[in-house]
Amino acid sequence: MINWSSRIPYPRSWISAIFLCLILSGLVKGADKVLEIGYYLTRHLPRLDAMFVVIAILSPILFIAIIHHFLNLLLDVLLPNNELLKLDKVQGWNPGLISWWKGLYSWLVIFLATIITIGVLDFLVIDVSSVRYLYHGSRDNLLVSIIAIVWVTAAAYLYHFEHLVKRSVIATAKSQ
């Protein structure tokens, strides 16, 4: 193992953050149809509006847990003797506890990384015209790129924090 500083996210954290960004972009694209259905339902059945909002907010937990579960099933088939996958051993068609934890923590990462990104960009007050010489594309593409970089960086640090906590818990459990 490479001697890696604990202040810099490990590659596994960066991969998780980038993968979560890709999943989130897919969820956002798929949310269009769900919002149409929700709008239709709440227009005809007004008591469902609060329940629909709660389901819409919590739905990434379910989707990420299912994606994690089936991705681990696929990796178990492709890499049967991998040491890293032994911790996340999955069986059957229903997501297990680890998959639900990954879904819940990823939901928390989505929320916190978004809040951090808004705070950082608000603090920096990024004026796209001042950095235009660095990028020859449109201003909108530059702003989206900056937002994505800040968001993925925040998510990578949050996943890194989870890894450090797990490592500390395991070290404490072994010492007892």
Position of tokens 């989130």? 24
161: containing domain: 16-169
Instruction: Find out whether 110 and 20 touch, Cβ atoms under 8 Å.
Output: yes
Position of tokens 């990104």? 117
Nearest C-alpha neighbor of 22 from the set 66, 55, 67: 67
Domain-embedded: residue 53:
yes
Helix (H, G, I), strand (E, B) or coil at 175: helix
How many other CB atoms sit within 10 Å of the CB of residue 141?
Answer: 11
Domain-embedded: residue 98:
yes
Profile the chain (176 residues) by mean pLDDT over runs of 10 residues.
75 90 84 77 78 82 88 74 60 81 92 90 65 54 81 94 87 82
pLDDT of 105 reads 93
Position of tokens 């909108």? 140
Tokens representing 108? Answer: 């928390």
| Domains held by the chain: number | 1
pLDDT of 159 reads 93
Domain-embedded: residue 51:
yes
Specify the DSSP class assigned to residue 125. Answer: T
Domain-embedded: residue 176:
no
pLDDT of 69 reads 86
Rg (C-alpha) for the chain, rounded Å, is: 20
pLDDT of 128 reads 47
What is the greatest pairwise CA distance in the chain? Answer: 60
144-149: list long-range contacts, CB under 8 Å, 24+ apart: 146/121, 147/117, 147/121, 148/21
Domain-embedded: residue 9:
no
Domain-embedded: residue 78:
yes
Instruction: Find out whether 17 and 152 touch, Cβ atoms under 8 Å.
Output: yes
Domain-embedded: residue 1:
no
Tokens representing 88? Answer: 């996340």
pLDDT of 166 reads 85
Domain-embedded: residue 160:
yes
Distance from the first to the final alpha carbon of the chain = 25
